[in-house]
């Protein structure tokens, strides 16, 4: 099994197979636009700009499960990222990352890289999962980990 077996929905409600990212290094993250960590959008965009030509893709999934920090629609979340941080990487529709309604992709990510919590739950916005070119989840970075500190890990996979 790999991340390529999952799909995601765009803010325009179009289903996208993650198989289209086969052969790429991925960062998959849950995000929010009204969070103290929201400036990480800018840091993620810097990584994307620096490494997308070498095969990096960043997939962002807005989530409103932590402090109601993504209260608007999926479209509003995507617009916010583009207007305020110049984000050019894909922003998908809002998802749940914990609980009964957990998106299947995030359930899989947590199973592959459980993190430090006993139940593998995601603790906050901007938990980042690094995926190699074969679709294997190789590392989990907790929310406060700055995206630029991931550079050496990304470069090894590229």
CA 13 to chain centre: 18
DSSP string, 88-106: -S-B----B-SSTTB-HHH
Give the Cα separation of 127 and 147 in Å (integer). 10
Specify the DSSP element, H or E, that contains 25. Answer: strand 25-31
Catalytic residue at 63? no
N-to-C CA span, the chain? 21
At what angle are helices 74-85 and 40-51 packed, to 10 degrees?
70
Q: Which of 35, 58, 97, 137 is catalytic?
A: 35
Question: Which among 134, 128, 133 is positioned nearest to 151, based on CA atoms?
Answer: 128
Neighbours of 74 (CB within 10 A): 20
List, by residue number, the catalytic residues. 35
């Amino acid at each position: 099994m790999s991340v390529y077996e999952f799909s995601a929905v765009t803010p325009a409600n179009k289903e996208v197979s993650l198989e289209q990212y086969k052969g790429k290094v991925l960062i998959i993250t849950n995000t929010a636009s009204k969070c103290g960590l929201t400036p990480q959008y800018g840091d993620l965009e810097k990584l994307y700009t620096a490494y997308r030509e070498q095969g990096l893709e960043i997939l962002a999934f807005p989530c409103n499960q932590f402090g109601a920090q993504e209260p608007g629609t999926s479209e509003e979340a995507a617009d916010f990222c583009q207007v305020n941080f110049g984000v050019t990487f894909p922003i998908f529709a809002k998802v749940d990352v914990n609980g009964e309604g957990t998106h299947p992709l995030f359930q899989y990510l947590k199973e592959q890289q459980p993190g430090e919590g006993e139940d593998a739950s995601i603790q906050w916005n901007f938990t980042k999962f690094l995926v190699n070119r074969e679709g294997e989840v190789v590392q989990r970075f907790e929310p406060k980990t700055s995206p630029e500190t991931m550079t050496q890990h990304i470069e090894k996979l590229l």
